[in-house]
Amino acid sequence: MTAENTKQTVMVVEDFEDNRFMMRRLLEMSGYNVIEAINGEEAIEIALRERPKLILMDLSLPRVDGLAATRRMRQYRELSDIPIVAVSAHDTTDFHAEALAAGCNDYVTKPIDFEELEELLKGLLPED
């Protein structure tokens, strides 16, 4: 990634610390600022406060799952245009459809192919 991405903030919503760490390191090495949340409830609060440019949303989360958090985020005018990418180990048509219906812009399957994710981010992130 190039220097113009250094100001892009991506929020990683993931309850497993090892997964959060790996995603944060890979994103930071590509020039992104990374903020984190460990559940859907925290993700909503942080997104409202920090306004990330994109959200990587795990679907299986404690307290408020990723689908419910996405639906709630889409109700806020200030969060409605932020791209949200569903992240899940479930790779079925039903899960993809449910994530898109909840308001996700795209869907990535774990384990994450980081080169594929980078291309997806380039397409979804606004030019600053």
Q: Residue 8's domain is classified under what CATH number?
A: 3.40.50.2300
Distance of alpha carbon 113 from alpha carbon 48, whole angstroms: 29
Question: Is pLDDT above 60 for 1?
Answer: no
Angle between helices 40-50 and 66-74 (to 10 degrees): 30
Residue 77 lies in a domain: yes
Task: State the average pLDDT over residues 50-71.
Answer: 96
> Where is average pLDDT lowest: 1-5, 81-85, 116-120?
1-5
- pLDDT > 70 in the chain, percent: 95
Question: Is pLDDT above 90 for 91?
Answer: no
- Identify the pLDDT of residue 127: 73
Residue 19 lies in a domain: yes
Residue 123 lies in a domain: no
- Identify the pLDDT of residue 105: 97
Residue 128 lies in a domain: no
Residue 126 lies in a domain: no
Residue 32 lies in a domain: yes
Residue 127 lies in a domain: no
Residue 125 lies in a domain: no
Query: pTM of the full predicted structure?
Result: 0.93
Domain that holds residue 39: 3-117
Number of domains in the chain: 1
Residues 55 and 85: beta-carbon distance below 8 Å:
yes
* Average pLDDT of the chain, as a whole number: 92
Angstrom CA distances, 27 to 22, 40, 41, 66, 121, stand at: 9, 20, 23, 20, 10
Question: Is pLDDT above 50 for 4?
Answer: no
